[in-house]
Structure 1
Amino acid sequence: MSAVPDRRARDAYRLVWRWHFYAGLFCLPFVLWLACTGSIYLFKPQIEAWLDRPYDRIDAQAPRVAPSTQVAAALAVVPGGVLNAYELPASNTSAARVLVGRGDDLVRVYVDPTNGHVLHHAVEDERLMRRIFYLHGELLMGDRGSMVVELAASWAIVMILSGLYLWWPRGKGLAGVLYPRVRERGRLFWRDLHAVVGVWVALLALSLLVSGLPWAKSWGGMLKEVRKFGSTTEVAQDWTTGRSDELAKRRAANTAMDDMADMPGMDRGQGESKKQSLHVEHADGGSSHTAVDLHALDRLVPTVARLQLPPPVLIAPPSKADAGWTGRSDTQNRPKRLTLKLDGATGQVINRKDFAQGALLDRAIGYGVAAHEGQLFGWPNQLLGLVTALGLITVTVSGFVMWWRRKPVKRLGAPPAHGARYPALMVGLLVVFGVLLPLLGISMLFVLVAERLVLRRVPRLHAFFN
């Protein structure tokens, strides 16, 4: 540890070290969890392609049945289901994927496009990579889990920034900061491993943490409210903020329009044609009717397929989420995404909105999310994300070993900061962090109050923490 001659600098150093300790102690299990689940999710395209390989062995030369026939077959295996979206086959040997909605649920049905036979179906939320997504972002706890992850990410930001301050060279050379002293053993080995890896992955880790915040229930929800100020139109985001927001959007997409004849730009004759019912026989012997004219897909699929959009490409029917037929590229590389407004009666594209036409904030978040998921610039992005995750695991494990080796018996061993005064700059930074990250601000106030009003007045707790 560097000697700091000035008393104010010493006080600042001791206080930063104590905050770094608190942040690390709280974040340790969450950082390990996020790094492990995030590493798996980085390779979602490869993993899903491997899992779906039994359904992507279609005869490339065989003639295809109409998309409406494929959808009817999919609806028949999900009693009470409605068409949520039709996913175009990604290649000549790929099965079509039909997303069938039913309330809050979504079922993915694999259909052989050559004969309309159902190959497989699975509840979307129970598929492996979707479970990893929920484990990573909300600990399988819905909105509450999302807030816990957000709090952990906020403290991880404090941990990284305070760590950079603590390990700054301060005129003593770069050994043990930018490169390890390879001949050292014991405490210095773990210290160098912790510091050097932490310095090298700091900026990458910070970018991952910040780019994940818009998805969080609390922070993302507040960002959405802030965006509404000065806006005369409804704010439409390309991402969800928590489980409840995702389910609300899913319910809207799974709910048919009450009166299709009232859709803008559609005359009464077109409306009556759209509302012609399609009789669907279900696998369990029951039947239902759908108000959506599925034959519109037979006109729309060739039009959208000719555009060669980045897969997966989805065509969705009119619903409460959108009053008309829509097509979109749902690729994880978000800067390549686009949305189409479609005319089901003619099969033509009415309007096209590319990623570049979105608001500046949306584009910035889109780039961040694509990089976060490892899809912005191909496999090098995945590799960079994996290296960052492994670096975070190394920093976490080495930090735990350092603490465990130096901590007193039956005591937590927090770095002492008795009598140290908070410099004005440090107070200002804590306030700024507390305002920008409200959950962090609330928890920091809790820590300060606990230290001043509890630890100082309860000798046993004071002795345990110090």
Structure 2
Amino acid sequence: MNQAVNQAVPAAHAEPLKSRRQRLYRTLWRWHFYAGVCCIPFVIILALSGAIYLFKPQFEGWVDRPYNQLAVTGQAVPVNQQIATARAAVPGSQFMTYQLPASEASAAIISVSDAGVRTLVYVDPYQNTVLKQIAYNDQFMQQVKAFHGALLAGTVGSVIVELAACWAVILVVTGLYLWWPRTSKGFAGVLYPRLRQGRRIFWRDIHGVTGFWLASFTLFLLISGLPWTTVWGAAFKEVRQWNAAPVEQSWSSGAVKAAPAWRPLTVDQVNLSGHVVSAARELNLAPPVELSVAASEPLLIKVSSLTQNRPSRATVWLDGQTGNVQRTSNFEQKGTLDRVIGFGIAAHEGQLFGWFNQVLGVITALGLVLLCVSGTVLWWRRKPAKKLGAPASVPAGRAGVVVSLIILALGIALPLVGMSLLAVLVLEWLILRRFRAIRDWLGLAKPA
């Protein structure tokens, strides 16, 4: 009899435990569903635009190919004359930067500013003629970047993208919890999809297995993109300034711009003498390399490598008269936090470890599109008529403590998630649960 009692005790405790796990599972499934509904359009936008931007160096090399095959005829005219030609092409403009030609047969790219509008002017260094001019923000890859980061909608678009990215983090984390195998039935449907067991199993496995293999890459892309965002990025910038000396930040966060002292100075007068330009060439910085007037010290010429592979970047300040090196800043001299962010940004843009980095980025992007498509198919196939088809809400019980802690952690780590969750809870309590038609369509429980 004692043995029977002993066997009955764990069984009695197992049921509540199982029930709590089921409640937590249902709650997180509901979160996963709503995060997917909100995120799918934006995830597709971010994936496709990001995949295009991965190939920025190759695309710009192809666009500029006609300007890198010029006839070399004698000596190039002095750089100062080239700058004067570029400024004359945009009347009333001021000098911003001079980009060192990639080779002897390449045009000089000079950027000038007129009423705050930056224009790139391509100048033949031998004929001293303008070959092309285009507004900096009108370049195709700049448009792709602006669309990827802010939907071409300024600060509002940036916040929308950030909100979608933050909820995509929740989508991945909850998806991993829902995917996690709870029985030992082998690897089918866990590590590889079952392709011949009907459409329902096919689409479920495509969604779950693809999500598992892409989870780490997706989380990396989402987290490494956060420093560019408006809310999280601005907060991170403040934390960075508390823990590091005020050195140049090699990325911008949404509408937050770099300090004026770190931007190219727009000037009416500049003297890029031959020995200064030669000294800049001899530094052998990773291209593209731009020369500008140092904003905080106008007597110095700032030579900056703008390669997308952040760890290869360096900045050197030259004496504007002699061309002598005054000081140098490179990646190794940055703080630990900035180096971590630099590695993350370079990998995010597909430039950290060559072509394989780009291939991984494309695979992840296409996999995210497949996840969105398969998730939509799963929803559509099981959605009841005239209802959204969200998993039914259930009383959380003790699982509510776990969910509350998760919400608190997310609200701290991702402020926009916390604010949006609070807004949704208030909206649900005040309005959505009060109207039967809306409540039934969303699958909400009746108000207490």
- Shared topology, TM-score over 0.5? yes
Match of 1:224 in 2: 237
1:431 correspondence with 2:408: yes
Match of 1:84 in 2: 96
| CA 297–13 in structure 1, closer or farther in 2 if over 3 Å, else same | farther
Which one is further off, 93-102 or 133-142? 93-102
Match of 2:375 in 1: 399
1:365-394 deviation line (CA, Å, top 9, x unaligned): 111000000000111000000000000000
Task: Answer whether contact 1:252 1:321 (CA < 8 A) is retained.
Answer: no
Secondary structure, aligned partner of 1:21: helix
Match of 1:240 in 2: 252
Cα displacement (A) at 1:61: 6.6
What value does the CA root-mean-square deviation take over the aligned residues? 2.1
Cα displacement (A) at 1:445: 1.4
Secondary structure, aligned partner of 1:314: strand
Secondary structure, aligned partner of 1:93: coil
1:1-26 deviation line (CA, Å, top 9, x unaligned): xx997001000000000000110000
Cα displacement (A) at 1:405: 1.1
| CA 76–328 in structure 1, closer or farther in 2 if over 3 Å, else same | same
1:332-366 deviation line (CA, Å, top 9, x unaligned): 00000001111011011111111110011111111
Match of 1:253 in 2: 264
Task: Provide the C-alpha distance between the structure 1 equivalents of 2:283 and 2:198, rounded to a whole number of angstroms.
Answer: 60
Cα displacement (A) at 1:71: 1.1
After superposition, residues 144-163 of structure 1 pair within 5 angstroms as 144-163=156-175
Match of 1:198 in 2: 211
User: What fraction of aligned residue pairs are identical, expressed as a percent?
Assistant: 46
Which one is further off, 92-101 or 204-213? 92-101
Task: Answer whether contact 1:104 1:251 (CA < 8 A) is retained.
Answer: no
Secondary structure, aligned partner of 1:111: strand
1:143 correspondence with 2:121: no
Task: Answer whether contact 2:265 2:294 (CA < 8 A) is retained.
Answer: no
Which one is further off, 441-450 or 145-154? 441-450
Match of 2:129 in 1: 117
Task: Provide the C-alpha distance between the structure 1 equivalents of 2:404 and 2:213, rounded to a whole number of angstroms.
Answer: 27
Secondary structure, aligned partner of 2:328: strand
Match of 2:396 in 1: 420
Which one is further off, 49-58 or 387-396? 49-58
1:337 correspondence with 2:313: yes
Gapped regions of structure 1 (runs ≥ 5)? 257-289
Task: Provide the C-alpha distance between the structure 2 equivalents of 1:323 and 1:143, rounded to a whole number of angstroms.
Answer: 36
After superposition, residues 163-178 of structure 1 pair within 5 angstroms as 163-172=175-184, 173-178=186-191
Match of 2:304 among 328, 342, 346: 328
1:312 correspondence with 2:288: yes
Secondary structure, aligned partner of 1:253: coil
Cα displacement (A) at 1:235: 5.3
1:179-221 deviation line (CA, Å, top 9, x unaligned): 0012123111111111111111110011000011101111111
Counterpart residue type for residue 346 of structure 1: T
Secondary structure, aligned partner of 1:85: strand
1:356 correspondence with 2:368: no
Match of 1:28 in 2: 40
Secondary structure, aligned partner of 1:7: helix
After superposition, residues 7-156 of structure 1 pair within 5 angstroms as 7-60=19-72, 62-156=74-168
| CA 103–239 in structure 1, closer or farther in 2 if over 3 Å, else same | farther
Task: Answer whether contact 1:84 1:99 (CA < 8 A) is retained.
Answer: yes
Counterpart residue type for residue 198 of structure 1: G
Task: Provide the C-alpha distance between the structure 1 equivalents of 2:428 and 2:374, rounded to a whole number of angstroms.
Answer: 27
Task: Answer whether contact 2:110 2:122 (CA < 8 A) is retained.
Answer: yes
1:6 correspondence with 2:9: no
| CA 386–324 in structure 1, closer or farther in 2 if over 3 Å, else same | same
Cα displacement (A) at 1:105: 1.4
1:264-294 deviation line (CA, Å, top 9, x unaligned): xxxxxxxxxxxxxxxxxxxxxxxxxx233x2
Secondary structure, aligned partner of 2:391: coil
Secondary structure, aligned partner of 2:431: helix
Task: Provide the C-alpha distance between the structure 2 equivalents of 1:154 and 1:464, rounded to a whole number of angstroms.
Answer: 26
Task: Answer whether contact 1:83 1:317 (CA < 8 A) is retained.
Answer: no
Cα displacement (A) at 1:116: 1.4
Task: Provide the C-alpha distance between the structure 2 equivalents of 1:213 and 1:249, rounded to a whole number of angstroms.
Answer: 23
TM-score (norm 2): 0.91
Match of 1:368 in 2: 344
Counterpart residue type for residue 14 of structure 1: R
Counterpart residue type for residue 130 of structure 2: V
1:211-263 deviation line (CA, Å, top 9, x unaligned): 111011111111111223366x54531111124526x759963444xxxxxxx
Match of 1:211 among 214, 217, 224: 224
Task: Provide the C-alpha distance between the structure 1 equivalents of 2:395 and 2:179, rounded to a whole number of angstroms.
Answer: 23
Task: Answer whether contact 2:265 2:292 (CA < 8 A) is retained.
Answer: no
Task: Provide the C-alpha distance between the structure 2 equivalents of 1:322 and 1:461, rounded to a whole number of angstroms.
Answer: 63
Task: Answer whether contact 1:15 1:420 (CA < 8 A) is retained.
Answer: yes
